[in-house]
């Protein structure tokens, strides 16, 4: 089984210098390492050529973001399993072994995510992925170990193997044949929540997504866009609506979109009350972009039978902001 670790880079020389050593050290003999460069203008490529001549560099002609960047680069990578790894991730000893064994043992595993811990607070889960992703009935994403901005401490509560709904793009293992059958990430997303859409499309095609607690990595997070950046607010709100449009039966999708428009309006007003006007404007721009692209997104709808049970809670917004539930295990029991 041939594994290719593919790190997408855009002007990340500092990140490569800091975090690439752990990837090289703990992946030697188990995987080939590639850096897919999104037309960087810093010294990233020169740094790699000088210090890591054995790492293969795939140079994209333009910065197509996370989605198109990976699509373009992976066309030039030959492997059975792709590991899509953020440049701000520090891996741990033996992180690959349980994943490789799992793919060998479980032929039904299409996509796998390890445990994602916070690089700066190493005993806490990290925002992007934590212990596996889920969505609620309205399409809002959340994770085991992370609900909105509330992060749980890692106390071994998620040292398991569990089927999940979506795996984080910060560290995602995917069979190459599955990646290309799904035609990769949707480039219209540019960045953020493209992995939710990708896994949702995989689920609609009958593939399974797993979390594997025996493998762990540490993610810095926010190195491209922090959680509080208006640009990220824009992409998250818009792309979530894209995913609903593409991946649910027509009537259900339209009903949920109508509810989401109302809730997104409430979120915008909340930003106004907090004097975070740029975020309010980001939500408005997200909706305007969604309306412009709606017809194109509707045409992308899956031909496969839609899965009807895609959520484990009806409303994560209600559970979190009204009922005050910030722990995944309490949420599920509730």
For residue 62 the two structure tokens come to 């333009």
In this structure, are residues 154 and 117 in contact, taking their beta carbons and an 8 Å threshold?
yes
Question: How far from each other are the two terminal CA atoms of the chain, in whole angstroms?
Answer: 42
Q: Name the domain boundary from 179, 199, 219.
A: 219
Same domain, 198 and 244: no
Pair of tokens at residue 73: 């680069």
In this structure, the answer to whether residues 242 and 98 fall within a common structural domain is: no
Rounded CA-CA distance 210/203 in Å is 11
Into how many domains does the chain fold?
A: 2
Residue 331 placed within a domain: no
Residue with tokens 């922090």: 226
Q: Residue 299: which domain range?
A: 230-303
User: In terms of Cα–Cα distance, which of 222, 221, 165 is closest to 197?
Assistant: 165
Residues 91 and 143 in one domain: yes
Q: Which two three-digit tokens encode residue 182? A: 């799904």
Whether residue 272 is found in the same domain as residue 179 = no
Whether residue 183 is found in the same domain as residue 244: no
Q: What per-residue string of b and e applies to 143-174 under the rule 16 or more CB within 10 Å gives b?
A: bbbbbeeebbebeebbeeeeebbbbbbbbbbb
DSSP run (H or E) holding 45? helix 44-51
* Below-70 pLDDT ranges, the chain: 222-227, 304, 334
Nearest partner of 329 among 149, 143, 112, judged by Cα: 143
This prediction's pTM: 0.94
State the pLDDT at residue 119.
96
Instruction: Please tell me the predicted confidence (pLDDT) of residue 222.
Output: 62
Shared-domain flag, residues 194 and 252: no
Residues 128 and 209 in one domain: yes
* CA dist., res. 218 & res. 130, Å (int): 10
Residue 31 token pair = 């995987």
Per-residue confidence (pLDDT) for residue 301, from 0 to 100: 85
**What CATH number does the domain containing 141 carry?**
3.90.550.60
> In the beta sheet, which residues pair with residue 207?
none
Residue 214 shares a structural domain with residue 240: no
Residue 330 is assigned to a structural domain of this protein: no
Same domain, 260 and 279: yes
């Amino acid at each position: 089984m041939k594994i290719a670790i593919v790190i997408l880079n855009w002007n990340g020389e500092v990140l490569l210098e800091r975090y690439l050593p752990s990837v090289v050290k703990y992946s030697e003999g188990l995987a080939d390492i590639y850096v897919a460069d999104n037309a960087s203008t810093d010294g990233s490529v020169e740094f790699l050529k000088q210090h890591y001549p054995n790492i293969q560099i795939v140079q994209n002609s333009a910065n197509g973001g996370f989605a198109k960047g990976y699509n373009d680069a992976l066309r030039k990578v030959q492997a059975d399993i792709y590991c899509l790894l953020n440049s701000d991730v520090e891996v741990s000893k033996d992180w690959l072994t349980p994943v490789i064994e799992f793919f060998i043992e479980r032929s039904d595993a299409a996509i796998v995510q390890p445990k994602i811990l916070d690089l700066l607070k190493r005993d806490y889960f990290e925002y992007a992925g934590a212990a596996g992703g889920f969505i609620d009935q309205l399409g809002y994403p959340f994770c085991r170990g992370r609900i909105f901005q509330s992060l749980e401490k890692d106390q071994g509560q998620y040292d398991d193997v569990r089927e999940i709904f979506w795996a984080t793009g910060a560290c995602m293992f995917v069979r190459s044949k599955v990646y290309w059958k799904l035609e990769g990430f949707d480039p219209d997303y540019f960045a953020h929540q493209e992995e939710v859409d990708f896994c949702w499309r995989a689920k609609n095609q009958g593939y399974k997504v797993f979390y594997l607690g025996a493998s762990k990595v540490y993610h810095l997070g926010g190195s491209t866009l922090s959680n509080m950046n208006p640009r990220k607010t824009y992409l998250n709100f818009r792309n979530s609506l894209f995913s609903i449009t593409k991946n649910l039966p027509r009537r259900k999708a339209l009903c949920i979109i109508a509810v989401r428009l109302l809730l997104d309006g409430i979120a915008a007003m909340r930003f106004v009350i907090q004097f975070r006007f740029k975020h309010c404007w980001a939500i408005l721009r997200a909706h305007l972009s969604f309306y412009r692209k709606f017809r194109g997104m509707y045409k992308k709808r899956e031909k496969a039978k839609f899965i009807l049970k895609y959520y484990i809670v009806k409303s994560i917004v209600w559970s979190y902001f009204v009922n005050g539930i910030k722990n995944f295990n309490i949420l599920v029991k509730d």
